[in-house]
Amino acid sequence: MVKQTLSSSSHSSAMLASSDHSSSAGSLFSAMLPFSTKLPFLSVRWKAFSLLSLVGIASVIAFLYLFSSVTTEHFKLERAQTHNQSAELLSRLIESSAEDMISLASVTSSQSEFRQALLAKDGPRLEQIVGDLYWNLQLDVGVEGIQLLDRQNTVQSQTGAVINNGLSQSVLVSEAIQWQMDCQSVCLLNAAGPILHQGQVIGVLLISQPLSNVMLRFQETTEINTGLLSREKKSTESNESDLPRFIPSWGRNLEMITNPQSLKPVIKQMAESYSWQELNRHPHIIDVDGRVYEFRAEPLENRNLVVIEDITDEITSLREYKNTIVSLALVALIVGEVGLLLFLWRPFRAASPGTQLLPLVEEKRYQDVIQSLSQSSSQRFFEDETSVLKRTALCMAEDLRHKAEDLRQLEYDLSLRSHALATTAHRLDGLTQVHDLLLSSVDDCVLTLNDEYKIVEANSSVRRLLRLSSTQLVAHQFTDLFLSEQGGRWLKERLDDVLSGVISEFQHSTSMQDNAQTSVEIRWTHQALTDSASNRRCLLSIGQVLSH
């Protein structure tokens, strides 16, 4: 413990002795000046302008990113609204076509010639009537087929393609006009009306119209092309428009499509670029020959309705709008940068002469600094922040001049103190040697224990008596030196009392065993001390040999 105190004092004296070289601080100051550093020099005005410019650029980039995100989301919402409107329009066109066919079936079935021929079951007459009606309606509204059935739901005459999927039976039961859409082999709109005679249903007239007629009307109304896909692989040959009927990558058969010649490259590129699962999840956009098309698939009965819309104008408008905003943002950024430079140039220019005074400060020419600051302050016609800075610098220069004189006197005083501390350290080293000599010359056993009762230091008498080296003693428990049947809890409790200050000292006798297995009777006296280095309590244990 005494040795630790002495070494700390010696270290402090060495640090204070180094104050003789305090004059080298000027070289550290000179290293901070722009004319003496090896790094490229950049003035404060350009640093401030660069940082503010970076903030402005980051703000513009963040604005453009946010604007692009918002604009894109708005475009998606508009497209979703357009999808809903077109789907609703297609549904209304299907319902309108069905209602027209219902009216047509109602008017046609009310004709007397139908009733008379059906009652008489005149087959040739029925064939002639149905054939004439089919050709007239095909030219007028484009019907696909006509079917005439009797009360027993038996076909009496049929012309063209008709799919009767229980519709006639439903009309016979309900005795009311009905319609349905059927997509078995082809997609047809079927409308059926009862034929009445004297209040009794004597038959059913069923008229079919292809769904493609509705899709063509939809294309004429909205300029949006549509197509029908089925899962049946009917043929791998191309149709008249050179479009393959079966598309292997989709696993679908192309039954019909509006405007096939224009959509041929669109279908082919879509089939090469996307799988059917991808197209089913959400709409996709593709660029073909400078035109932008949106492709989406919708379920329709056991078919898939594909909607292909040319959105080139919308995409072009969106891009032009974004480009315009980006151009305006760049112009605003450039104007802002120029304005910022003009705004900051004068105040930074006014502050720049201060940097020219730093070499004078480094050379300790404080009187020249004071004279320069006084002249520049007298030439100003108005006050601003630089005026306050210059007045402050003037006061600091005057203060530095006085402090420089004080530092020279302090340097002389420190050199005297350093010499005195070095002499004191030399004396303390001598005291350390005396301390070690005293511990070595004492016949009694002297141990220093820490607050865990481990041996920290042992004099030569202990090592000689127990025939143990310093390595074997230090960091071992004090009670480990006792014979196995002695020592114990009572001793630790008494040592705790001494360490905590409950009792001032504690004495006890105990038998200890040396390295040669010889018993030694020692009377120990324990007192508490405070380690000045760590400020922790420890024990000084002095043992008197009673028998050996």
Q: Looking at residue 465, what is its pLDDT?
A: 83
Sheet holding 225-230, edge to edge: 246-247, 252-257, 225-230, 303-310, 291-300, 284-288
Tokens of 288: 């073909």
CB-based contacts of 291, cutoff 8 Å, min separation 6: 310, 312
pLDDT at 248 over 60: yes
Burial class (CB in 10 A: 0-12, 13-18, 19+), 526: buried
Given pLDDT bands bounded at 50, 70 and 90, which one contains residue 26?
very low
pLDDT at 5 over 50: no
From the list 329, 327, 324, 325, the residue with the least C-alpha distance to 56 is 329
Instruction: Look at 159-163, 250-254, 311-315, 353-357 and tell me which has the smallest mean pLDDT.
Output: 353-357
pLDDT at 30 over 70: no
pLDDT at 501 over 60: yes
pLDDT at 493 over 60: yes
pLDDT at 237 over 60: no
Measured in residues, the chain has a length of 548
When mean pLDDT is compared over 113-117, 174-178, 387-391, the highest value belongs to: 174-178
Average pLDDT, the chain: 78
Instruction: Look at 18-27, 58-67, 147-156, 249-258 and tell me which has the smallest mean pLDDT.
Output: 18-27
Q: Looking at residue 15, what is its pLDDT?
A: 41
pLDDT digits (tens, 9 = 90+) for 280-326: 888 888 888 888 999 888 887 777 888 888 889 988 998 899 999 99
Q: Looking at residue 324, what is its pLDDT?
A: 92
Euclidean distance between CA atoms 541 and 524, whole angstroms: 6
Task: Find the helix or strand (DSSP H, E) in which 450 lies.
Answer: none
Given pLDDT bands bounded at 50, 70 and 90, which one contains residue 66?
very high
CA dist list (Å): 392 to 44, 347, 388, 508: 19, 17, 6, 73
Q: Looking at residue 402, what is its pLDDT?
A: 79
456 in Cβ contact with 439 (< 8 Å): no
Burial class (CB in 10 A: 0-12, 13-18, 19+), 381: exposed
Backbone angles phi, psi at 364, to 5 degrees: 60, 35
Task: Find the helix or strand (DSSP H, E) in which 528 lies.
Answer: strand 519-531
CB-based contacts of 229, cutoff 8 Å, min separation 6: 247, 250, 252, 253, 254, 255, 297, 303, 304, 305, 306
3-state secondary structure of 475: coil
CA dist list (Å): 168 to 48, 172, 183, 202, 490: 87, 6, 17, 12, 112
Given pLDDT bands bounded at 50, 70 and 90, which one contains residue 328?
very high
Give a three-class secondary structure readout of 223-292. Answer: CCEEEEEECCCCCCCECCCCCECEECCCCEEEEEECCHHHHHHHHHHHHHHCCHHHHHHCCEEEEECCEE
Within 10 angstroms of residue 433's Cβ, the number of other Cβ atoms is 11
From the list 227, 240, 177, 223, the residue with the least C-alpha distance to 204 is 177
Euclidean distance between CA atoms 389 and 383, whole angstroms: 11
Rounded mean pLDDT of 406-411?
85
Burial class (CB in 10 A: 0-12, 13-18, 19+), 455: buried
328 vs 231, residue with greater confidence:
328
Task: Find the helix or strand (DSSP H, E) in which 431 lies.
Answer: helix 385-441
Tokens of 99: 């209602």
Q: Looking at residue 354, what is its pLDDT?
A: 57
Euclidean distance between CA atoms 529 and 506, whole angstroms: 13
Q: With left for phi above 0 and alpha for psi between -120 and 50, is residue 380 left, alpha or beta?
A: beta
From the list 160, 135, 143, 148, the residue with the least C-alpha distance to 208 is 143
Instruction: List beta partners, residue 455.
Output: 449
Q: Looking at residue 440, what is its pLDDT?
A: 72
Q: Give the rounded percent of residues in the chain with a pLDDT score beyond 90.
A: 4
CA dist list (Å): 459 to 49, 384, 407, 481, 545: 71, 75, 49, 15, 14
The sign of the dihedral angle between the CA atoms of 436, 440, 446, 449 is positive
Given pLDDT bands bounded at 50, 70 and 90, which one contains residue 162?
confident
Q: Looking at residue 244, what is its pLDDT?
A: 55
One-letter amino acid at 302 equals N
Instruction: Look at 311-325, 347-361, 375-389, 433-447 and tell me which has the smallest mean pLDDT.
Output: 375-389
Instruction: Look at 41-50, 265-274, 532-541 and tell me which has the smallest mean pLDDT.
Output: 41-50
Task: Find the helix or strand (DSSP H, E) in which 403 lies.
Answer: helix 385-441
Q: Which residue has the tokens 């670029």?
A: 273
Which string of DSSP letters, residue by residue, matches 352-391? THHHHTHHHHHTT-HHHHHHHHHHHHHT-SS--HHHHHHH
pLDDT digits (tens, 9 = 90+) for 69-102: 999 899 889 888 888 888 888 888 888 888 887 7
Euclidean distance between CA atoms 252 and 279, whole angstroms: 13
pLDDT digits (tens, 9 = 90+) for 502-541: 898 898 888 887 777 778 888 889 998 887 667 788 888 8
pLDDT at 68 over 70: yes
Q: 18-57: buried (b, 16+ CB within 10 Å) or exposed (e) per residue?
A: eeeeeeeeeeeebeeeeeeeeeeeeeebeeebeebbeeee
Q: Looking at residue 533, what is its pLDDT?
A: 67
pLDDT at 239 over 80: no
Q: pTM above 0.75? A: no
